[in-house]
Structure 1
């Protein structure tokens, strides 16, 4: 076994209980080889960079991924524990939730599907991609030596296509179903820590957001449609009043109409962090309301309307399920979501995501989450 720096060996030793004594040295070699490989992150490339290209027992390294008994789920818990100890020992956990497509083709890649390619598509141009959809939960934390927020992936799940589930007789779970399950898992791991989740508009679902407010609520910050149906809270029920209780009050003007209303009072605020910038002034207006749609439960939210005085971006709306959060806090949390995109691009460029060549289901389910975890390690 190659001697590793003490600080690096100390990090890896946290994962040692997940492996048997026989395969733990092999796991360490694959981790080091994956970090040092300049291009593809195949098992062969990892062995070659370590000088093990002529090892006649190279098959044992492949078996580590496609047969050996170890839990990547428990590895996620260990990784999160290390991240919290190092960067967020107390206070709420700020989490980023995002899905990405790993472009893979081939008849043996059974869980693949056809999805919209978010990198190559635009508002007016739709591009399809064949590949695997991954849902990743990342810890948003300031890194002292980097002087910025990093999004550190710690829990990544494969979201199989609907065709894959139908062929195997499995119940298909949507992206929001997987997201709910992952967030509840983290809540069970750290029951005493409040969770604040930042996500894009794909998770602006009344039913999903309402579910996360049951029991121990999870705060979610995401985008809100400018034409969303917002209402006053339901009035108090009077003594002797008949009929079912009201779910909502009077209809409020849409955010789109408020955006163009000259009577709207905008407040100018200064942000220390913005998309690719360190300083930016924007104008905001905020209020609480009930978001409601027929057949769905009413959802109390705080909405924030954001516009740019210099008109460099279009006016947009945000929502937060915690009514006590201030508009500035909501905006500062949401701006951190950009770091999720940065992390996805960096793991593609520097850690070789999409260059793996595993095709067995177990190896696929392990390799990409492990590669994303290397970014956080």
Structure 2
């Protein structure tokens, strides 16, 4: 389901208004009935493609949990980066690289540049993390420590996808460490975290 977060003057928090729904089928059922199986991320791409087609003048920020944080969906968002941004969770061991060097005319062009530290490695190498207070799940705020970085996410046989990732450590110790990312590298850490935690309004409304 794709829901749109809307603010009403009489409500404290945004409401999630369902916009489109796709039926997810169990892989075993699809195999038994000879249907092509679509993952949650692939279903989301179908629905987002419709939203982009129906509302050509609108720009969307799609927020999904780890099931939607795939490179496939990130690549789809990057193809239409002027109108669609993805914010989700990323694996701390994601492979990140610099952009490829300019082609010198000899051999095959390189598809990626030098390897960058994985998000977990970059966090471990950051002795001083930035502290801030951010909006949190379910309303209210939370004091956190953060670190961030950029890179091109790579998977063999596919092109690079530029992202910004953000690490968040809850200083209160009640929430596990999280790694988020966005396909819009102009987002700052606060924007990434508060955009993601805002998705809790979908859980409480729907």
1:240-299 Cα offsets, whole Å, 9 max, x none, are x412222222112222223333x444222222x312341222122222101112223211
1:18-68 Cα offsets, whole Å, 9 max, x none, are xxxxxxxxxxxxxxxxxxxxxxxxxxxxxxxxxxxxxxxxxxxxxxxxxxx
Bigger fraction of residues in helix: 1
Alpha-carbon separation, structure 2, partners of 1:227 and 1:171: 30
SS of the equivalent of 2:7 reads strand
Name stretches of at least 5 consecutive residues in structure 2 with no aligned partner: none
SS of the equivalent of 2:113 reads coil
1:210 aligned residue = 75
2:138 aligned residue = 276
1:96-140 Cα offsets, whole Å, 9 max, x none, are xxxxxxxxxxxxxxxxxxxxxxxxxxxxxxxxxxxxxxxx11112
Answer yes or no: is 1:266 the counterpart of 2:125.
no
TM-score by length of 2: 0.88
Bigger fraction of residues in strand: 2
SS of the equivalent of 1:235 reads coil
CA contact (8 A) 1:258 1:264 kept: no
Alpha-carbon separation, structure 2, partners of 1:276 and 1:159: 27
Aligned match for 2:202, one of 340, 352, 360: 340
Post-superposition offset of 1:318? 0.7
Distance 1:172 1:314, change over 3 A: closer
Q: Report the RMSD for the aligned CA atoms in angstroms.
A: 2.0
Post-superposition offset of 1:158? 1.3
Post-superposition offset of 1:167? 4.6
Name stretches of at least 5 consecutive residues in structure 1 with no aligned partner: 1-135, 345-377
Alpha-carbon separation, structure 2, partners of 1:248 and 1:308: 34
1:118 aligned residue = none
Aligned match for 1:314, one of 176, 179, 196: 176
Alpha-carbon separation, structure 1, partners of 2:127 and 2:183: 23
CA contact (8 A) 1:206 1:296 kept: no
Post-superposition offset of 1:194? 0.5
State which drifts further: 183-192 or 199-208.
199-208
TM-score by length of 1: 0.51
CA contact (8 A) 1:142 1:150 kept: yes
Post-superposition offset of 1:166? 4.1
What does 1:45-56 align with in structure 2 at a 5 Å threshold?
Answer: none
2:17 aligned residue = 152
1:124-182 Cα offsets, whole Å, 9 max, x none, are xxxxxxxxxxxx11112223211112222221221233344445443333322211010
1:373 aligned residue = none
Say how many residue pairs are matched.
Answer: 205
Aligned match for 2:160, one of 295, 298, 306: 298
2:94 aligned residue = 228
